[in-house]
Amino acid sequence: MKVSLKSDWVVKPAEPTWSGTVSLSECDQTFAVTHVPTIYYYRFCQDCLPSTNNIIKTLRTSLSKALVHFYPLAGRLRWIAGSRLELDCNASGVVLTEAETEAKLDDLGDFSPSPDSNSLFPRVDYTIPIDELPLLFVQLTKFQCGGIALSFAISHAVVDGQSALYFLTEWASLARGEPLGNEPFHDRKLLRAGEPPIASPTFEHLQFNPPPLLLGESSSEEEKKNETKGSMLKLTKNQVEMLRKKANQDNQGRSYTRYEVVTAHIWRCACKARGHKFEQPTNLCICVNIRKIMQPPLPKSYFGNAIVDVIANGVSGDITSRPLEYAARRVRAAIKMVTSDYANSTINFLKNQEDLSKYQDIHAFRSKEGPFYGNPNLGVISWISLPLLGLDFGWGKEIHMSPGTHEYDGDCVILPGNEGDGSLTVAIILQAVHVDAFKKFFYEDIEC
């Protein structure tokens, strides 16, 4: 798909904002220190096609207003000792780009991730110094049919998924002429940002250990070189309930959640599709939101990262040959580990590290730095409870929303279905040679 870039603007806060240096928490500056892409597609009826100029004007004006409240996004990161980062709130601004394409929305089919859609996302140039790199990029692309794509790339070093969606929702409200719903809470010291270490970790933190390699391999370098492919796989509400029923057949405790059973199902199918030996160790990395878990809980409007990674592990032969409940139980056990004490122990572990670089993924595409969670491992993130859908900037709600594509084998996101009918969508990146087998097991194993 050919996309032509027409104009771009640096959008700054509409009013003076607080300026100064903000320490980042350990949750902010480990693992994905990259820009996370998402995209929304909008279709207009022929009688209500707004002009691109009006859309751009609305976006620029409302974004400038939103940045007054969400001013950290208008700042810049900078490196300090120990491969740590801090945030300079200097109102340097964010980038808004206008683009157009001769393609039509219908040319995108079911909106599955593909190289064709990469040009619909903002380009983030990681070769420039980090203290010059904007933290938010926005791209508006107009299609020949009059529809538009609105895509975002937001720095994960500043916000996690919940905070990013909080910002987008408030920005959309301002674009519609409505007042701000809730003021963001910016004090990252609630997660001890910038404070020295005060204790040693009290838990074992497998998420910071090198993940298992394929049996017989001494590194993951060969696996990193393999071609990858993205897939968007839908699960109807009925299929999700079938998985829950299957997992709960032998369950003696509380019923397994949708996330627990779908994640267990993904794990099993990936192990099968990858053709592992029975004794192959495999890790599943899970992100847990700690806002309500911390004691005391974080404010609902906390603006930053408040997630902790935890590991479920096992042997591929056990994961694939035993009932679904076995994998679901391992997923649940990992999630239950994350208490306020565990989260503080995670922070203590990182604060005691002289250098954080080995726990950071700095580049978005095929980085050789930081942890690699490809074959034989997975990382499954839940966006099920996030306010992803219904993003209305004044021209109606989207017809489709999806995460951006990238090339990391083993990355997976579970999203609510765009129809809002209780269905789920699994967006997963796997090596191209494993995709067809994964799809086969993904649907066949629900029935058997």
Instruction: Return the active site residues.
Output: 156, 392
Q: Give SS3 for 5.
A: strand
| Cβ(9)–Cβ(95) below 8 Å | yes
Nearest to 84 by CA among 133, 30, 130, 159: 30
The rounded distance, in Å, linking the Cα atoms of 380 and 411 is: 6
Could you tell me how far CA 44 lies from the centroid of its own chain?
28
- According to DSSP, the residues that pair with 320 across neighbouring strands are none
Q: Give SS3 for 435.
A: helix
β-pair partners for 310: 286
Name residue, tokens 């990262």: 305
Distance CA 357, CA 141 (A): 36
Residue 139's φ and ψ, nearest 5 degrees, are -130, 125
Specify whether the CB–CB gap between 244 and 255 falls below 8 A: yes
| C-alpha to C-alpha distance for 187 and 392, rounded to whole angstroms | 29
Q: Is 82 left (phi over 0), alpha (psi -120 to 50) or beta?
A: left
CA dist., res. 137 & res. 93, Å (int): 10
Q: Give start and end residues of each alpha helix (H) in 70-127.
A: none
Phi first, then psi, for residue 112 (nearest 5°) are -65, 145
Determine contact, residues 301/166, Cβ cutoff 8 Å. Answer: yes
First to last CA, the chain: 40
